[in-house]
Amino acid sequence: MAEEGFRGPQVCTIVGITYRQLDYWARTDLLRPSITEAKGSGTQRRYSYRDLLELKVIKRLLDAGISLHSARRALEVLRAHGEEVTSANLVLNGTQSVLATSGEEIIDLLKGGQGVLNIVPLSGVVSELAAAIHDFDIAHPAPPPAAHPAGGSPDPGKAVGG
Residue 155 in any domain: the answer is no
pLDDT at 162: 42
pTM, rounded to two decimals? 0.69
So what's the pLDDT on residue 6?
92
To the nearest whole number, what is the mean pLDDT of the chain?
76
- Indicate whether 41 belongs to any domain: yes
Tell me the CATH number at 71. 1.10.1660.10
Q: What is the pLDDT of residues 75-97, one digit of tens each?
A: 887 777 765 666 677 777 666 67
Task: Please tell me the predicted confidence (pLDDT) of residue 140.
Answer: 79
54 lies in a domain?
yes
99 or 15: which leads in pLDDT: 15
Comparing 71 with 42, which gets the higher pLDDT?
71
* Number of folded domains that form the chain: 1
Residue 18 Rama label (left phi>0; alpha psi -120 to 50; beta): beta
Helix ranges (DSSP H) in the chain: 8-15, 19-27, 49-63, 68-80, 103-111, 122-139
User: pLDDT band at residue 149, thresholds of 50, 70 and 90?
Assistant: low
- Residue 159's pLDDT is 47
**Is residue 59 a part of any domain in this protein?**
yes
Percent of the chain residues past pLDDT 70, beyond the cut: 64
Measured CA to CA, the distance from residue 148 to residue 95 in angstroms comes to: 60
Query: Domain range for residue 31?
Result: 6-82+123-139
